[in-house]
Amino acid sequence: MWAALPVALLANGIAQDVARGGAYYPLGAVILDGAMGLAVLLLAFITVKRHELLRKLPDRKMFLLALGGFIGGILLALFYLYLVSELRSFQNEINAQLEVLRETGAAGAGETPPLSWGEVGLAFLAIVVVFLIPFLLVPAWILLWSVVLAAFWGTGVNSIDDGQWHLEGAVQAFAASPAGQANPMKENLSRSETLRIRQTALCAAGFFLTWLARRDALGGIHAGRRREVEHLRDGRLSGANFLAYYCNARLIDRDVAPEYLEFVRIYYPEYLSDFGAWYLAHRNPDDWTYVGNFEDYLEFSRVIDENYLSYSISRGIPSGEEEDGNRAVNLPFALWLERGIPGAVVERANRICQEAQDAVEGLADVPETERVTAFTEILQRFVQDFNILDRYNSFIETLEREEIYDAAHALFCFVCEECALSMTESEFSAALDRNREW
């Protein structure tokens, strides 16, 4: 903004020379305001980082503000030229007064005419305003160019998620919560309530950003934020705050490393559903807000990991999973290879079954009153893992569905025999079918 004054003085000199007569005000305003606008645009190209403008989402309000800034800039330029003209008139009158004083002093006779201090004061005020207006022109052009450049540079930028999309839902959830219903006439939210609602709106994208950071899958747009990204990885900075402070509450495709972008575009709509189920199970029971911590992320991230693993299998990307050679692995789905199902899918299905077997073997240490709940959670995880595996590979048909059911039923029989599980066959079938998508 300090560059405004010399640019304005130079433009004013050009306007004085070029624009004369009846064209002085319109042409002079164009020269003055245009020079200021070009100077701001040049500085924007030199100093403003492009990715910061990409974070802005131009809307009708921003365009109206930009139009208002442009019109205001023109009016200020006209007023500036008017003050310059008036200042010249004041200068001529003061010079005339001084000439009269000099002539009167030289003659040595007569009464000294009074000095018009009002005109001097107005001239001084005009000088102050003339030097002030160029600084007022700059914010108008900054607003205008920020909208124009954001609209120009933002063309083709895909927005994966935006906190504003979820903010209204978070506010509505708060209003429908027991705390909101207890005081339905409340007009103003407290600072803590506002922060919790905002964190609720940003938490989904924040968890996903944390997952990207921990896999070194953030885009090059964050290459200059090594310290902040490191804090995001180890939980010292929450994903919601990283999204708010460094992403303008908006997740775009440039936040994601190119090799992960296809997975994000395919999975993110499903991810919002997965996170929605997590939110319903973990939200505050009083006000229905959810401020996820790092421990919550570590627990929930298993869902994202499972989706990426299944996606990798579908694309033939090495998963990095290794068999444990120290023990025999259960292979209930070995016959699938003969049906043409890819070996990586069969291997993952066998591992899902083995992980469930390992989990149920630990139920003997769980109190008897809690075993049904614990086994139901294991069963739900078993079903969810097959949902995810089939989401990207589409291999479960009638035979595979029956064989998966048989594998789950074998787990049920094992727990009933070894741990005296108080669950009936119908309860087992209902639990298995609750979230099944195949």
Same domain, 309 and 433: no
Same domain, 187 and 265: yes
User: Residue 32 and residue 81: Cα distance in Å, rounded?
Assistant: 9
Tens of pLDDT along 132-158? 777 777 777 777 777 777 666 655 567
Q: Per the structure block, which two tokens stand in for 213?
A: 């950071």
Same domain, 228 and 92: no
- DSSP result, 177-240: SHHHHHSTT--S--HHHHHHHHHHHHHHHHHHHHHHHHTT-B-GGGTT-HHHHHHHHHTSS-HH
Domain final position from 295, 320, 345: 320
User: Residue 105 and residue 164: Cα distance in Å, rounded?
Assistant: 75
Same domain, 8 and 146: yes
- At residue 330 the predicted structure's pLDDT band, cuts being 50, 70 and 90, is low
- At residue 226 the predicted structure's pLDDT band, cuts being 50, 70 and 90, is very high
Domain final position from 119, 153, 187: 153
Same domain, 298 and 165: yes
Q: Is pLDDT at 234 greater than 90 in this prediction?
A: yes
Same domain, 134 and 218: no
C-beta of residue 119 within 8 angstroms of C-beta of residue 93: yes
Same domain, 163 and 147: no
Same domain, 135 and 169: no
Same domain, 313 and 384: no
User: Residue 112 and residue 98: Cα distance in Å, rounded?
Assistant: 11
Query: Is the pLDDT higher at 394 or at 44?
Result: 394
Closest listed residue to residue 349, CA positions, set 340, 360, 341, 339: 341
Phi, psi dihedrals of residue 219, rounded to the nearest 5°: -70, 165
- Amino acid, single-letter form, for residue 219: G
Q: Which of 1-15, 170-184, 300-314 has the lowest mean pLDDT?
A: 1-15
Q: If you average pLDDT over residues 45-50, what whole number do you get?
A: 64
Q: How many domains does the chain have?
A: 3
Same domain, 169 and 275: yes
Domain final position from 277, 299, 320: 320
Model pLDDT, residue 104: 64
Give the number of other CB atoms < 10 A from CB of residue 79: 15
Same domain, 338 and 408: yes
- At residue 422 the predicted structure's pLDDT band, cuts being 50, 70 and 90, is confident
- At residue 57 the predicted structure's pLDDT band, cuts being 50, 70 and 90, is low
List CB contacts of 82: < 8 A, sequence separation 6 or more. Answer: 25
- At residue 328 the predicted structure's pLDDT band, cuts being 50, 70 and 90, is very low
Q: In the chain, what percentage of residues exceed pLDDT 70?
A: 80
Same domain, 260 and 315: yes
Q: Find the domain containing 385 and state its range.
A: 325-438
C-beta of residue 52 within 8 angstroms of C-beta of residue 20: no
Average pLDDT, the chain: 82
Tens of pLDDT along 7-17? 766 776 777 67
